Structure 1
Amino acid sequence: MNGAIRCDHVQFYVEDLCATAEELTAAYGFVELLAEPSGGTAARSVVLGQGSIVVALTEPGAAGPGRDFLDAHGDGLARIGFSCTDLRSVYARAVAGGARVIEPPRRFRPVWMAAVGGVGDVVHTLVEQPPDTPTVFLPGIGSVPRGPVHAELGLQEIDHFAICVPPGELARVAAHYQLAWGFERIFAERIEVGAQAMDSVVVASRDRGAVFTLIEPAGAQPGQIDYFLGRHGGAGVQHMALRTNDIVATVGALAARGVKFGHTPAAYYAELPNRLARTRHELLRLRRLGVLADRDHNGDLYQIFAQSGHPRGTYFTEIVERDGATTFGANNVKALFEAKQRELDQDSDVRSVS
């Protein structure tokens, strides 16, 4: 495929810009790169960075697509930006493959930009600019300094996105990303926990610069994917996984700053040595933090879910370390699924008591 693509930035629409920016800076160690306050009913945006991660937060005005998104879904990850080496060919293929046109290609010297629809109301923003440009261009916001931002807590880059789709939509959405974007299908799995179940397919750009885990509910009893779809109001990004080179140090630092993580039962760690005789991190440290570990033919994978602080309890963050591993923790997916379900069950119990 002409015009290689990589994840460039993400944009959240939020009701309270200051509170969300404070959470990402104080709890997650992000650094403010750009702030564009406006008066009246105009949108306000803040751009944050850590490692190569660029996160734009926008509090929409009284009308427009951002306000429509918030009314339908609440705070959420609304745009996933792709950097393109040949934007017009990427755009042409996406549209020919059925992607909805949001903004046709336009040039802002020396930058080309466009936008097309993704899953549900998620939009893919496309940006092409010379590689030696000292800034990163964010459509509708402006330019921010290019280059890695000091990763205070060790978060380096976006590893993947998990996107939930309604029952019966998984095959169609996966095929769309293969046809319209040239993504490759690299993994598929079904997870069952009692009467709850989910099916997932992982698709990725050819150079793995953009990776999507697509998930649909598939159980006789509603579970966490059904919960997301109901509370979010349809398909959308359930979580974004951020990669670190030392998950023990990063999760420890995040926990010290107040980030809460999903609980993993002691039985998981009692069985872990039977699967992994040796790991880069000591078992006791993994257990103390609740970090999960898995191994593929290329190396080890460590991962953990943060508890959701979202007003609707939908979106959350995952922390990942890849010590050579290239897959997605097949032995951990069930444990992560169960951990997230326990969090939702506990939250439901609290609400019923109150």
Structure 2
Amino acid sequence: MDQCCLHHVEFGVKDGSKFAQKLISQYCFKLIATRTSAVAKQWVLTTGRARFLLTEITSDIYEEIIADPYVKIWFDRSRIGTSGSERERNSKLNYDTAFDVAIQVEDIEKCLKKLIDSGVECFRPIQCHTSDQGDVKTATIVSCVGNVKHTLVQSNGYRGLFMPGFVPVTPDDTLNTTSVNGSQSVNNVQLTHVDHVTFVCEMGTLHDVISWYQKHFGMVRFMVNREEDEEDGMVIKGDNIGLRMMAFEYWKCAEVGLVAPSQNQDRITFVLAESLPFQGPNQVDTFLQQHNGPGLQHIALHTPNIISTITGLRQKGVKFAEPPPNYYYEEGKLDEIQKIGLKPELLKSEGILIDMEADADADAKDSEDSHRYLMQKFTQPLFDRDTLFLEIIQRCGASGFGFGNIKALWKSVQAYLSKSGSQNL
């Protein structure tokens, strides 16, 4: 199995089977392995190189849960009760969330020691999982962002599908058959890898989070695009938008012991977002309220053909947050689309956002590099709360995030939340 910086993303869910079926039937994921223990049920799903681990806890006893080597809680211990009445109350607090961004490492002992020595809290020490297909070592540390954790995974030479203890499933498994034998390209849907993940922070804490990852992980800040200020990040104000964003990467962090990717799709980017004061109800604050604090707001999945992928996802029943009606009539937008060589009517019919990099024309007027651009679209929330979204993104030479798209994405999500009533909570 090829190694990459991002090993998997873990979700804590109330109904794992239901959520797995949603990913398979609507997003064309494939179920590859499952695990059942005395305290939890788990599912491993893939699309391209992206791997999602779903965990449903079935026990109410903290000591039993924490004893399971593969299970981590994503909510406060105080929320786990023992009596029937407590369980009933706590079930309302046990929310669905994406909470663990697991990272591949080359030397877990060295990596974990450096993290602990620098002051990082260790949630679970190194454990070795063994099978006839090889060994996998894991350890979990606590991020400074809400309920986010990072599991370190050393799987050098492991030949299995995921990790020891997970049982492979067959293509004709009951869940996989909901997606035509688990095909990952049904209706031309192609989702190849995780492009980036975005964490929502509490207002005023974004710089502290950046500093934490730089100090403990040696991560490298990179500019979202040319409009970004090096100190303040990308700040978007006006028209009911108040957002600050910054981004940083794992791929330059070999000194901490993380696996350096050999291909661009192996690199993983973290994006941070916080709301600005005096903006009124907004999607960042809605997330903080409904998620019970900071956390992972959306996962971006890359596609080599966003038009066919969005069309296919719609056919499978996926609901999207649509861009504002005037997006395609903004000054210069139609010219930009035509310059790239795309059909405005097709992009508009699917509600796909597009941005050419601001400096693309400066370097090579007639070359391929002069048409560096990206296209994006957000889904509606995946859970019963307005928290986690997926983003579908296609990069055509562009490495950052378009300024105009960020505003349009913000407005599309705002429109959905207003319609759903979440902004009135």
Match of 2:99 in 1: 78
Identify if the C-alpha distance between structure 1 residues 104 and 154 changes in structure 2 by more than 3 Å, giving closer, same or farther: same
Match of 2:414 in 1: 341
Which blocks of at least 5 consecutive residues in structure 1 are unaligned? none
Identify if the C-alpha distance between structure 1 residues 71 and 124 changes in structure 2 by more than 3 Å, giving closer, same or farther: farther
Match of 2:28 in 1: 29
Q: What code does the residue aligned with 2:29 have?
A: F
Q: What code does the residue aligned with 1:254 have?
A: L
Matched, 1:230 2:289: yes
Match of 2:301 in 1: 242
Matched, 1:66 2:73: yes
Which has the higher Rg, Structure 1 or Structure 2? 2
Matched, 1:51 2:84: no
Equivalent residues of 1:111, 1:129 under 8 A apart? yes
Q: For residues 190-205 of structure 1, what are the structure 2 equivalents within 5 Å?
A: 190-205=235-250
**TM-aligned CA deviation for residue 42 of structure 1:** 2.2
Equivalent residues of 1:291, 1:303 under 8 A apart? yes
Matched, 1:142 2:166: yes
Over residues 59-81 of structure 1, what are the superposed CA-to-partner deviations in whole Å (9 max), with x where a residue is unaligned? 11223443736865610102111
Q: Secondary structure at the match of 2:5?
A: strand
Over residues 76-116 of structure 1, what are the superposed CA-to-partner deviations in whole Å (9 max), with x where a residue is unaligned? 10211111122233323333333210112233353221110
Equivalent residues of 1:98, 1:176 under 8 A apart? no
Q: What code does the residue aligned with 1:21 have?
A: A
Match of 2:136 in 1: 111
Over residues 239-289 of structure 1, what are the superposed CA-to-partner deviations in whole Å (9 max), with x where a residue is unaligned? 100001000011110001110111123321123123444235422111111
Match of 1:175 in 2: 211
Over residues 21-57 of structure 1, what are the superposed CA-to-partner deviations in whole Å (9 max), with x where a residue is unaligned? 110000000111012245xx62111111110111111
Which blocks of at least 5 consecutive residues in structure 2 are unaligned? 66-71, 77-90, 170-181, 224-232, 253-260, 361-368
User: CA separation in 2, counterparts of 1:144 and 1:227?
Assistant: 38
Q: Secondary structure at the match of 2:374?
A: strand
User: CA separation in 2, counterparts of 1:144 and 1:84?
Assistant: 24
Q: Secondary structure at the match of 1:135?
A: coil
Identify the range of structure 1 (271-280 vs 74-83) with the bigger mean alpha-carbon deviation.
271-280
Equivalenced residues, count? 342
Q: Secondary structure at the match of 1:287?
A: helix
User: CA separation in 2, counterparts of 1:218 and 1:229?
Assistant: 14
Equivalent residues of 2:286, 2:423 under 8 A apart? no
**TM-aligned CA deviation for residue 350 of structure 1:** 11
Match of 2:267 in 1: 209
Q: What code does the residue aligned with 2:354 have?
A: A
Equivalent residues of 1:264, 1:335 under 8 A apart? yes
Identify if the C-alpha distance between structure 1 residues 218 and 169 changes in structure 2 by more than 3 Å, giving closer, same or farther: same
Over residues 108-147 of structure 1, what are the superposed CA-to-partner deviations in whole Å (9 max), with x where a residue is unaligned? 35322111012211110111122x43225448x63769xx
User: CA separation in 2, counterparts of 1:281 and 1:88?
Assistant: 50
Q: What code does the residue aligned with 2:166 have?
A: G
User: CA separation in 2, counterparts of 1:239 and 1:93?
Assistant: 29
Q: Secondary structure at the match of 2:153?
A: strand
Identify if the C-alpha distance between structure 1 residues 307 and 280 changes in structure 2 by more than 3 Å, giving closer, same or farther: farther
Equivalent residues of 2:104, 2:153 under 8 A apart? yes
Match of 1:185 in 2: 221
**TM-aligned CA deviation for residue 201 of structure 1:** 0.7
Q: For residues 124-135 of structure 1, what are the structure 2 equivalents within 5 Å?
A: 124-130=150-156, 132-135=157-160
User: CA separation in 2, counterparts of 1:73 and 1:6?
Assistant: 30
User: CA separation in 2, counterparts of 1:214 and 1:349?
Assistant: 22
User: CA separation in 2, counterparts of 1:97 and 1:285?
Assistant: 51
**TM-aligned CA deviation for residue 182 of structure 1:** 1.5
Q: What code does the residue aligned with 1:295 have?
A: M
Equivalent residues of 2:374, 2:402 under 8 A apart? yes
Among 143, 146, 151, the residue aligned to 2:184: 151
User: CA separation in 2, counterparts of 1:143 and 1:95?
Assistant: 33
- Give the percent of matched residue pairs that are identical in Structure 1 and Structure 2: 27
Identify if the C-alpha distance between structure 1 residues 175 and 258 changes in structure 2 by more than 3 Å, giving closer, same or farther: same
**TM-aligned CA deviation for residue 196 of structure 1:** 4.0
Match of 2:257 in 1: none
Match of 2:10 in 1: 11
Q: What code does the residue aligned with 1:151 have?
A: Q
Q: What code does the residue aligned with 2:394 have?
A: E
Identify if the C-alpha distance between structure 1 residues 74 and 114 changes in structure 2 by more than 3 Å, giving closer, same or farther: same
Q: What code does the residue aligned with 2:310 have?
A: V
Between Structure 1 and Structure 2, the one with more strand by share is 1
Equivalent residues of 1:127, 1:137 under 8 A apart? no
Identify the range of structure 1 (190-199 vs 212-221) with the bigger mean alpha-carbon deviation.
190-199
User: CA separation in 2, counterparts of 1:128 and 1:301?
Assistant: 33
Over residues 162-212 of structure 1, what are the superposed CA-to-partner deviations in whole Å (9 max), with x where a residue is unaligned? 100111110000111111112111123112243541111101112572211
